Structure 1
Amino acid sequence: MLHRFLKIHPNDNVLVALTDLTQGETISYEGKDIVLVDNVQAKHKFAEKPLHVGEEIFMYGSLVGKAVQEIPAGGVLTIHNVKHEVHGFEGKTKTTGWNVPDVSRWANKTFMGYHRADGQVGTGNYWLVIPLVFCENRNVDIIKQAFLDELGFGQRDLYKAYVSQMVDLYQSGNTEAIETLTLQRTETLAKKRIFDNVDGIKFLTHEGGCGGIRQDSDALCGLLAGYINNPNVAGATVLSLGCQNAQVSILEKAIQKISPNFNKPLVILEQQKEGTETELLSQAIRKTFLGLIEADKNIRQPAPLSKLVIGLECGGSDGFSGISANPSIGHTSDLVVALGGKSVLSEFPELCGVEQDLINRCVDNPTADRFVHLMRSYARAAEAVGSGFDMNPSPGNIKDGLITDAIKSAGAAKKGGTSPIVDVLDYPEYITKPGLNLLCTPGNDVESTTALAGSGCNIILFTTGLGTPTGNPVTPVIKVASNSKLAERMPDIIDVDTGAVIAGEKTIEEMGEDILDFIIEVASGNIQTKAQILGQDDFIPWKRGVSL
């Protein structure tokens, strides 16, 4: 049965509309009748009782705002009558218990992955071509053009063919037919792959490596080292100019820090040493081809689910995200942790207001203290340029019910489930400890997913309520819709629909279990994510200025 509204936590003083509600209708809740004084769109919130100016507003059991106007019972919450408000936080004040979920159903399950010498297991097998500085982007693009089609990794360009059809019609004088010409999606036409066990060659161009501040170059080298070490990567070709801030030596030190016994194939070429562009590119292409021959020797083999490293991300969130999609993948995270795997919760600006809960879930005081330090440092950096976490919600978030950052954060934190926090990582540190990790990243979708893959995630779960076409070059991104309308409207980007939770057809736990089963299929290479099918290889390194 579809419920029309929901109270998320017993301590809340607002209700969430699960469907459109009409001004003047009466809502009955816990023996009380509430007459709606406004139309309330699905995903938006309305007052359970009168809220006076200055009164605190609670959702998910957390402080999420303060009334700045009188809000009658049945009145809708808006950006005009509510402002962002959160409680402060301090060090660890107690230890939070954890009810470990029953994972006996998955105890003997495996996924088919690529085993690396350092013990990591990949869900894919990719070769990387990376510039250390933006000056090498053109050379990387030339290598890309040379390889993709010849090795069978290219895709038929539907849109190029669409324009070609229009050109033919125009040249034949049939201009009228262009107005009704529709794009016909056909099967991908590409050459047969030369290397059966290589999932692709990925080209990570960027705008960094020189200029800016030296910390930016150091962070970029740390990020690229993480990508090279990611279990989904078989090897890499790195192009350096030679004179840039992001020196080869910095990259090599970053790789050694992550993996002291690193032994993947790694080709590094410096243009100012090699001489002509032709010499550089011919060497890069030849050595990359030889590297691909080695990479193709890897085959998928069974691996325990403890080898899963799950990134937890949200983007284009709506008022249902914190009710359906986020807690569903939160339960998936708990299952993975209980099985001995790793999960990673990122996006620190979207943990604003729930810090104390997360602090108390940390396994020890040093871990908690590091989280406190990173959150406060990030907040100060934002405030120093006239911004702040309270400015995080986007126009799309606000339109669909997330009217304060605290409301958004309280729902976003549900992605982390309930398990203890074993480690807190600064960007771009690499994950080492089994259990739930926190990773300091912006809330920006691509910067955060980029960081998750750079920290070693071999799968990313990405929840969305509005629809976000985001992927990653090396780590499969599973897109999880918070509502069925989105899944039906944008089936080309959505992998999993959690709308059944809103409809009352499935519990959070059931949906989380379904998502784990889906992860196993993706990790084994049996299912490609929609982002993989569309070739969404988004890659944006975070410069440690302010990015919300």
Structure 2
Amino acid sequence: MNKYLQIHPGDNVLVALQDLQQGTEVGFNGSTITLLKDVPAKHKFMIADAKEGDPITMYGVLVGKANAAIAKGELITITNVKHDASAFHEKEGTVAWEQPDVSKWANRTFMGYPRKDGQVGTRNYWLVIPMVFCENRNVSVIRTAFEKGLGFAPAEVYNEQVQDLVALYKKGDLGAIKTYTAEAVSLSNKRHTVFNNIDGIKFLMHEGGCGGTRQDSDALCALLAGYIHHPNVAGATVLSLGCQHAQVSILQDALKKLNPDFNKPVLVYEQQKSASEFSMLSTAIRDTFLALIEADKESRQPSPLSKLVIGLECGGSDGFSGISANPAVGHTSDLVVALGGTSILSEFPELCGVEQELINRCVEKDVSDKFIRIMRAYESRAESVGSGFYMNPSPGNIKDGLITDAIKSAGAAKKGGISPVIDVLDYTEYVKRPGLNLLCTPGNDVESTSAEVGSGANIVLFTTGLGTPTGNPIAPVVKLATNTKLAQRMPDIIDINTGTIISGEVSIEEMGEEILEYVIRAASGEVHTKAEMLYQDDFIPWKRGVSL
């Protein structure tokens, strides 16, 4: 295994692939670099002296500037380097792309749920949605009734643990309580027997719908419409209070905008028009059960890989993200695009510094102009409240080597591979064109993943270097570890280990192909992701204020 890596020939820093001690001599380009301090794995050190104001480059782009003089062999930190990134402007040149060889998948299919509008689902869910937070309690009542009644409820190992602890407490056995250890349970992929072709009922509770701006409630309605329109959804039960900003009529208009011929069953119940809460909930449960009988008639059918819509996401990123998991996922994205499928790259604050590359990859000037307009507006909103993209890296990111937003962004953008950018979508816009799409979302893991699925992703590839459990209610989220230590430490949330790229066991291209094979199996329902098995159903709508 190599001890260090220069990512791009133009970089003036090297990445430590393992912990390197002070005094270690590193041979590079015919010269010797003596490390002036310990350099932890994932962090970077200078290959030449830099004076204050000199650029720091990684991935071939500007990622910061020296805050003070930095000596050759010195560790770069938040103390001696500050964020900086290249400016961007209108599109230059033409788009050229040499597609990867996808002949081995030319006749492959996945087993999906074809919908009447031409989309194909990777799961078959029924949704229960509140139009406003006032209905969350009623949604919870329906959730308890259906999950227990139909066998969709998670294993009750923790309930059993509490019961055991209560029994020991009643016995007065404090010592046994202190040493009590619950037994882990094996989570089954098949969680019910009542309906064979329904993967579950999902409940999108949220804190919006009223009390905020009308723009926020309109965006919420558009996001909920994207979930109802989604190919993984057979239909929905909607609970409305009646007086809130997020009116059912706005949701219905958003559905018609997505598909003028929209014809999925959507059952709507308004509490302020109901005789009683009991009457509303009892009727909703009965009608939903009848709709589930119809939804169960859907079955998986062989479907072309061109019907895959892959969300590209990262969270809990580390210094290896941009050299293992992200470029591997980028290759998977290129494969899917070459097969006629679709991928979605989001998290606009984490594209800071690589905007020009993405602009030049846009197939049309209208597309690149839209990207420029959205990026500048987003950055302006952040700066207007005394923030900015430069504040994006979290303490965990910084601790593991991502010390500026531009470093984080340059690695995060690798998830998008090298294929042309076919379209740019603002928040809640639904994918319309196959190929690589850029979607405006914050860098927040759950807000971004929720948005990708709301825009049509029927499976999500989520890379993590620190360990992030994020999932989604209706789309499988495949968790990819950037390093082997994480995969071994948190096997309950990690699906694929890309740390073998760091150790030199596989290439980025080989791992990208391995990921695609897993995607096909997951899309077909042959495997369930760890997030699915843990019921990690995260859903957070984005308010268009400042969220990085």
* TM-score, normalisation: structure 2: 0.99
CA–CA distance in 2 between the matches of 1:188 and 1:343?
Answer: 30
Rate the CA distance shift 1:64–1:187 in 2: closer, same or farther, 3 A.
closer
Deviation sequence 1:420-458 (CA, Å, 0-9, x none)? 000000001101100000000000000000001100110
**1:192 CA drift (Å):** 4.4
- Counterpart position of 1:251: 251
CA–CA distance in 2 between the matches of 1:408 and 1:435?
Answer: 24
CA–CA distance in 2 between the matches of 1:191 and 1:330?
Answer: 33
- Counterpart position of 1:227: 227
Greater mean deviation of Cα atoms: 33-42 or 92-101: 92-101
Secondary structure in 1 matching 2:542: coil
CA–CA distance in 2 between the matches of 1:68 and 1:145?
Answer: 56
Q: Detail structure 1 runs of 4+ shifted over 2 Å in the superposition.
A: 186-193
Q: Does 1:529 align with 2:529?
A: yes
* 8 Å Cα contact 1:151/1:191 also seen in 2: no
Deviation sequence 1:367-424 (CA, Å, 0-9, x none)? 0000000000000000000000000000000000000000000000000000000000
RMSD: 1.0
* Matching residue's letter, 2:3: R
- Counterpart position of 1:131: 130
* 8 Å Cα contact 2:10/2:60 also seen in 1: yes
Deviation sequence 1:316-366 (CA, Å, 0-9, x none)? 000000000000000000000000000000000000000000000000100
- Counterpart position of 1:490: 490
Secondary structure in 1 matching 2:149: coil
Greater mean deviation of Cα atoms: 298-307 or 92-101: 92-101
Identity of aligned residues (%): 66
CA–CA distance in 2 between the matches of 1:241 and 1:12?
Answer: 57
CA–CA distance in 1 between the matches of 2:185 and 2:533?
Answer: 13
- Counterpart position of 2:277: 277
CA–CA distance in 2 between the matches of 1:432 and 1:118?
Answer: 12
CA–CA distance in 2 between the matches of 1:529 and 1:262?
Answer: 30
- Counterpart position of 1:119: 118
- Counterpart position of 2:444: 444
* Matching residue's letter, 1:420: P
Secondary structure in 1 matching 2:332: helix
Deviation sequence 1:456-477 (CA, Å, 0-9, x none)? 1100000000000100000000
- Counterpart position of 1:328: 328
CA–CA distance in 1 between the matches of 2:501 and 2:192?
Answer: 42
- Counterpart position of 1:4: 3
* Matching residue's letter, 1:496: I
Secondary structure in 1 matching 2:235: strand
* Matching residue's letter, 1:254: A
CA–CA distance in 2 between the matches of 1:423 and 1:274?
Answer: 44
* Matching residue's letter, 1:20: D
Q: Does 1:47 align with 2:54?
A: no
* TM-score, normalisation: structure 1: 0.99
* Matching residue's letter, 1:100: Q
Deviation sequence 1:147-201 (CA, Å, 0-9, x none)? 1111111122211111111111121222211222111013459984211100000
Q: Does 1:15 align with 2:3?
A: no
Secondary structure in 2 matching 1:545: coil
* Matching residue's letter, 1:122: G
CA–CA distance in 2 between the matches of 1:124 and 1:265?
Answer: 17
CA–CA distance in 1 between the matches of 2:269 and 2:170?
Answer: 47
Rate the CA distance shift 1:538–1:293 in 2: closer, same or farther, 3 A.
same
* 8 Å Cα contact 2:95/2:363 also seen in 1: no
Q: Does 1:62 align with 2:61?
A: yes
Rate the CA distance shift 1:188–1:417 in 2: closer, same or farther, 3 A.
closer
* Matching residue's letter, 2:170: Q
- Counterpart position of 1:164: 163
Query: Can you give the 5+ residue segments of structure 2 that lack an aligned partner in the other structure?
Result: none
**1:275 CA drift (Å):** 2.5
* Matching residue's letter, 2:33: I
* 8 Å Cα contact 1:149/1:191 also seen in 2: no
- Counterpart position of 2:338: 338
CA–CA distance in 1 between the matches of 2:518 and 2:492?
Answer: 17
CA–CA distance in 2 between the matches of 1:348 and 1:277?
Answer: 42
* 8 Å Cα contact 1:153/1:193 also seen in 2: no
CA–CA distance in 1 between the matches of 2:293 and 2:220?
Answer: 28
Deviation sequence 1:82-137 (CA, Å, 0-9, x none)? 00001100110122421200000101110000000000000000000000011111
Q: Does 1:288 align with 2:255?
A: no
* Matching residue's letter, 1:21: L
Rate the CA distance shift 1:384–1:70 in 2: closer, same or farther, 3 A.
same
Matches within 5 A, 1:41-440: 41-187=40-186, 192-440=192-440
CA–CA distance in 1 between the matches of 2:212 and 2:429?
Answer: 21
Deviation sequence 1:194-226 (CA, Å, 0-9, x none)? 111000000111010011110001000000000
CA–CA distance in 1 between the matches of 2:456 and 2:185?
Answer: 35
* Matching residue's letter, 2:80: N
CA–CA distance in 2 between the matches of 1:118 and 1:192?
Answer: 28
* Matching residue's letter, 1:490: M
**1:263 CA drift (Å):** 1.2
CA–CA distance in 2 between the matches of 1:191 and 1:239?
Answer: 26
* 8 Å Cα contact 2:187/2:533 also seen in 1: no
* Matching residue's letter, 1:477: V
Secondary structure in 2 matching 1:322: helix
* Matching residue's letter, 1:428: T
- Counterpart position of 1:468: 468
CA–CA distance in 2 between the matches of 1:402 and 1:195?
Answer: 47
* 8 Å Cα contact 2:320/2:482 also seen in 1: yes
Secondary structure in 2 matching 1:208: coil
- Counterpart position of 1:479: 479
* 8 Å Cα contact 1:14/1:47 also seen in 2: yes
* Matching residue's letter, 2:43: H
CA–CA distance in 2 between the matches of 1:399 and 1:291?
Answer: 50
Secondary structure in 1 matching 2:257: helix
Query: Can you give the 5+ residue segments of structure 1 that lack an aligned partner in the other structure?
Result: none
* 8 Å Cα contact 1:484/1:499 also seen in 2: yes
